[in-house]
Structure 1
Amino acid sequence: MNNYLPELTVRIAMGLGEVDVEIRDRHTQFIAARQQADGGFGGREGPSDLYYTSFALRSLAILGELHGDLADRACDFLRSRLGGQETIVDFLSLIYGAGLLENSAGVEVFAGANEDWREQVAAALEKLRREDGGYAKGELGSASSTYHTFLVLLCLQLLERPIVQPERIRDFLLSQEAEDGGFREIRASKRAGTNPTAAAIGALRIIDGLDQEVADGAIDFLLEMQNDEGGLRANTRIPIADLLSTFTGCLTLTDLGALHEIDTAAAMRYVEGLQQPGGGFFGAVWDEVADVEYTFYGLGGLAILHP
């Protein structure tokens, strides 16, 4: 099983190393300027939260700039959230952010935590398992989610805990495959999407459950998602490309050895066109505000698509 997130971070960092230093510095300054008084990072408005803090730390890590006072303050923020009841997304954000800080800056978020905290988190995640083998968004959720199943697997990898009954997870993920080769987010979804497809392929790769037929179907679906803008759309109903779908789609095509099958030059122009003079990226052509989440997707896009 590949250790998905750490390997992805290294891959993107290596790709960004080929990008002009002035561009990297501009985005570093944009992100650093968004650190709040408590050491965390927020979205477009509002207080710091784990989700956006994780994206800021991921971006700084791939830029090679996660160190010093900024890292120490971010560590303080993550420690302040150790006692909270978090969603899967926030669990992942906390655990991964802590790992990035330890690896990049040598600071330990969990230094004072209980010795069995990994087991406690893994047990809490397993409560989200549903009869179909997937994982729901929360304890009250009845439907398994492709995306949240992927997130649980990422969390378990970062916690270095075993993945329980991976064959049931594979069965659930394959049940989410649509006729066009893409994957649905939940069973009730009417159509496949770029991001659920990326999550499904990522999850199947983690559990060594991906076969060539499924991979070929996903490739065919993702190739149809590129539009005249050069970016990728979220699904067949949405005509406009967006940076999240472009990043996840291109990353998945890279993992499947098929990135060359799209117009990569057009995709690169799309990503570069969302880059802002003062640093940061817009999420799509209609956007008006750059934020740390879409800046990570933009940096990832530059890294993957750079010639």
Structure 2
Amino acid sequence: MQSISANILDTLKSGKDQLGSEAIDHLSAFVQSQLLQDHSFMNKSGESDLYYTSFGWMLCLVLGIHLDTDKMTGYLSCQHEHDLDLIHYAAFKRCELILYMHKKGRALTWLKTRSKQHVKDLNDFKQVPHQDTRAPYTQFIWTSLLEDTGNKLTEKSKIEKDLEQYRHETGGFMNVSDGHTATTNATTAALAVLGQISQVKQEKAISYLNSMQDATGGYKAAPSAPVPDLLSTATALFALKSCNEKPDYPALEFIEAHWAESGGFIATLLDEKSDVEYCFYGLLALGSALSIS
């Protein structure tokens, strides 16, 4: 079975392959504008950030942007990996693999890790999302981390049972077990994990995602959200593509409306500033939408 990261890379490539050379150059120029001297990528505040670097390095791999692998190696060597929280630890391990792929010039397929790597136990992290190791988003990060490091996901039936504790009556999922509302991103995280461990079609969760899309083609993060956003749209479309499902409304116009003049993508039409994370979501949304249209 294809890993989550491999699926993401293929989808990003699908998005890129639909762009003309001028559009690719425009997007690439923005991505490069977010690159710092040490070859890390900046966050929204303009500071070096390991989490954003994982997005930036993958985009460079897809877009064919040259990076100095010595600087990349130097940047990773300065990270205190054993002190990182789960999200940044997973980003670190993904960056290690992307660095290897940059060295090998491999951007067409997601490489399996060179050998199985030891990773910390999930319960050993000081911080995990929502401080809950069983929640959908935590399990999504954990599953991706295990796949990226050549480890196998164990206790699949337990994970599936645990995730059911976060399912809302609407069919969607929550990231807190005692929550009152399902969210798009908790649902897409659960779908990604379940897709790796179960062959059962998640019709209720898919139906919930469909209810989060409005006529513009965009998806809201939650029923109470004032407007749809690009992150929710990207993850929802990616989840539907992975489930071989189609959205109720075409999403290309929504995605294009969030491509700013700067060359980057914005979170919502209420935003003006882009960053490398949303460039990732924009290309992921584009590749997903084109794959299921």
Instruction: Give the TM-score taking structure 2 as reference length.
Output: 0.88
Is this contact kept in 1: 2:116–2:149, CA < 8 A? no
* Correspondence for 2:93 among 95, 98, 102: 95
Quick check: 1:237 aligned with 2:224? yes
The answer for the alignment partner of 2:111 in structure 1 is none
* Correspondence for 2:242 among 240, 255, 260: 255
Number of aligned residue pairs:
283
* Correspondence for 1:86 among 69, 75, 84: 84
Quick check: 1:124 aligned with 2:108? no
1:231-259 Cα deviation digits (max 9, x unpaired): 10001111310000000001111111212
Is this contact kept in 1: 2:128–2:138, CA < 8 A? yes
What is the CA-CA distance between 1:188 and the residue it aligns to? 1.9
1:175-227 Cα deviation digits (max 9, x unpaired): 211111111111022111110111001011122x2412xx1111111111112
CA distance in 2, matches of 1:11, 1:287: 25
CA distance in 1, matches of 2:6, 2:103: 15
* 4+ aligned runs moved over 6 Å, structure 1: none
1:5-30 Cα deviation digits (max 9, x unpaired): 02320232134212212111111111
Cα 1:11/1:274, change in 2 over 3 Å: closer
Which ranges in structure 2 are unaligned for 5 or more consecutive residues? 106-114
* Correspondence for 2:71 among 73, 98, 106: 73
User: Aligned-pair RMSD on alpha carbons?
Assistant: 2.4
Instruction: Give the TM-score taking structure 1 as reference length.
Output: 0.85
Cα 1:103/1:278, change in 2 over 3 Å: same
Quick check: 1:298 aligned with 2:282? yes
CA distance in 1, matches of 2:244, 2:263: 31
* Correspondence for 1:195 among 177, 181, 185: 185
Which ranges in structure 1 are unaligned for 5 or more consecutive residues? 108-115, 130-135
CA distance in 2, matches of 1:225, 1:91: 31
The answer for the alignment partner of 2:30 in structure 1 is 30
Cα 1:32/1:84, change in 2 over 3 Å: farther
The answer for the alignment partner of 1:12 in structure 2 is 12
The answer for the alignment partner of 1:163 in structure 2 is 153
CA distance in 2, matches of 1:301, 1:11: 8
The answer for the alignment partner of 1:63 in structure 2 is 63
Read off the aligned partner of 2:272 and give its amino acid letter. E
CA distance in 1, matches of 2:133, 2:211: 28
Is this contact kept in 2: 1:137–1:144, CA < 8 A? no
CA distance in 2, matches of 1:201, 1:258: 12
SS at match of 2:179: coil
**Stretch moving more, 248-257 or 55-64:** 55-64
| Identity among equivalent pairs (%) | 26
The answer for the alignment partner of 1:113 in structure 2 is none
Is this contact kept in 2: 1:181–1:220, CA < 8 A? yes
Read off the aligned partner of 2:235 and give its amino acid letter. T
1:119-169 Cα deviation digits (max 9, x unpaired): 2x2x3324369xxxxxx727x935632101111111111111222312111
SS at match of 2:48: coil
